[in-house]
Structure 1
Amino acid sequence: MASENVYVEHCKGVNGLDKVILREIRGCSAEVYLDGGQVTSWKNEFREQLLFLSSKATFKPPNAIRGGIQICFPQFGTIDSLEQHGFARNRLWSVDPDPPPFPANTSHRAFVDLILRHSEEEVKIWPHRYECRLRIALGPGGDLMLTSRIRNTNTDGKSFTFTFAYHTYFSVTDISEVRVEGLETLDYLDNLKNRERFTEQGDALTFESEEADFCVEKGWTSRCCRVEPLG
């Protein structure tokens, strides 16, 4: 039987930052930096890169890594008083030594559990205490699964509200071939037109240029899409 380190490797990445590499025997892989708790690479069994990482990514904490899958917490976007997309993507996460039980899947051997807790400096700008746990798992077929759990650890028992998102940058070869389905009849805010509200009429959204930035709203959830040129 293969040992665990075949599937999970703890090592150093760009600028000496700590990262974890997940591998499966068919050749697929994922790389996770503890800075930001961020997936920066996801490759299929043909070693094709599925995520976009900007050439402008600096890997200099506390700046967020531009690309991959950013963890947005406790705020997504700029709808509240905090910095854009919150502070979780700028913080150093830790490997969770004692994670709670997650839904069992015995076929997943390549995974890592991360944890982020409040800091006293953060409490000054967002007066709440929390634990944010994140499991990143790579399935035998190359599927990448992120599971998050957020726990309120306020000592006064007060509740808090937050927004959360996996801000994913996909690598796309030809934007004209991309279709986004399931948004028909939903309202969206176009950030390139001063957040003017529109209603999507088509059964699939397509892109005619390399720039789009909008947020689709539905009830208490929102789905955002942004298309940028490579760089």
Structure 2
Amino acid sequence: MPTAIAITRYQGMDALELLAPDGARATVLLHGGHLVSWVPAGGEEQLYLSPKSEFASGQAIRGGVPVIFPQFSGRGPLQRHGFARGKPWQLVLAEQGEDDALAVLRLSDDAATRMFWPHAFELELSVRVAGQSLEIELACENKGDTPLSFTAALHSYLRVDELNEASVQGLSGLHYWDSVANVERQQRTDLLLPGTPGTEDLDRIYYQVKQDLTLLEQRGTAERRLQIRQQGFDDAVLWNPGAAKCAQLADMPPEGYRQMLCIEAAAIERPVDVAPGETWAGLQSFTLLQSGQSA
């Protein structure tokens, strides 16, 4: 029988500490449905969380996995990245099973959301952790009687020891929108090298991502390999602010950009349309294939 997991506190906020029987663990806040930590079994922290981030009601948290809904960035009339990441979510389920730990949170429309986005909806976020893997699923049900349309993302901040030693594999041949240069381009090389000349300020939306991506990080003679999969989300965003922009972010240390790289599962180019009574779901999963730790 599964064992229920009680609500605890993290940085003064209600949280769920998911612990799988094999030692894999994750921490999810009810604030924003925000995942702030993931540690694979026997491993180390895989997510970046800014030490300068504020933990306050209504405030966005810098790092972890923010839920972006119903608008990505400033691409529309709503507040940047929408309202879901600043709202309190409700606990549906949190339990430890035979070989995993699972949390399910829910966010529904209310008077405040309908002022800006006049739709009846129900979001459900599921976080499952076991072994070397983490799965995050975002589902949206249209509870109204008219169609709704949205853009969304799981804005995953991945931790690296040093950005200049990291690369991303699996983007070759994809078209992407370069949000820095405001131009569409095609990825011609198999490896993207963030932090190298021309990519210090990295902000790209890759379209129609069908294949797995891999975050590679050289750690001395060892290599870390993190496999990234997505379903339901057509696009992937790669983002790192670089030195100049990072220095302007009040909730980031000036050198914080060197310890993170965002690889986000997203639906941006083609907004998601959901008919009344229908449900859409998108998934992003991570599997640590090699830890990069010395034997």
The TM-score normalised by the length of structure 2 is 0.67
Equivalent residues in 2 for 1:137-156, closer than 5 Å: 137-139=128-130, 141-154=131-144
Unaligned runs of 5+ in 2: 210-232, 242-254, 258-295
Give 3-state SS (helix, strand or coil) of 2:82's partner. coil
Which shifted more, 76-85 or 208-217? 208-217
Kept after mapping to 2: 8 A contact 1:108/1:137: no
Greater fraction of residues in strand: 2
The answer to whether the aligner puts 1:117 opposite 2:104 as a matched pair is no
2:21–2:99 CA contact under 8 A, matched in 1? no
Shift of 1:143: 1.3
Q: Quick one: structure 1 residues 217 and 4, their matched pair in 2 at CA, closer, same or farther if it must change by over 3 Å?
A: same
What is the aligned partner in structure 2 of residue 227 from structure 1?
A: 240
Bigger relative contact order, structure 1 or 2, given CA contacts below 8 A and separation 6+? 2
Shift of 1:222: 2.5
Between the aligned partners of 1:63 and 1:173, the Cα distance in structure 2 is 27
**Equivalent in the alignment of 1:11:** 8
Asked if the contact 1:189/1:215 (under 8 Å) is kept, the reply is: yes
Q: Does 1:76 align with 2:76?
A: no
Root-mean-square deviation over aligned CA pairs: 2.3
Measure, in 2, the Cα distance between the counterparts of 1:208 and 1:119.
42
Query: 1:164-175 maps to which residues of 2 (within 5 A)?
Result: 164-175=152-163
Structure 1 residue 107: Cα displacement: 4.7
Q: Give the alignment of 1:124-143 within 5 angstroms.
A: 124-139=115-130, 141-143=131-133
Q: Which residue of 2 aligns with 1:101?
A: none
Encode CA deviations 1:198-229: one digit per residue, 9 max, x unaligned: 22111221123454222222399321111244
Q: Report if aligned partners of 1:31, 1:41 keep a CA contact under 8 Å in 2.
A: yes
Q: Does the 8 A contact of 2:204 with 2:237 survive in 1?
A: yes
- Measure the CA separation in 2 of the matches of 1:41 and 1:135: 15
Task: Specify the SS of the correspondent of 1:74.
Answer: coil
1:148 Cα offset (Å)? 2.2
Matched, 1:161 2:174: no
After superposition, give the CA deviation of every residue in 1:89-124 in whole Å (9 maximum; x if it has no partner): 1110010269xxxxxxx7554111110000112111
Contact (CA 8 Å) 2:21, 2:98: kept in 1 or not?
no
Which letter maps to 2:205?
C
SS class of match (1:201): coil
Work out the CA distance in 2 between the residues paired with 1:26 and 1:108: 7
Q: Which amino acid aligns with 1:135?
A: S
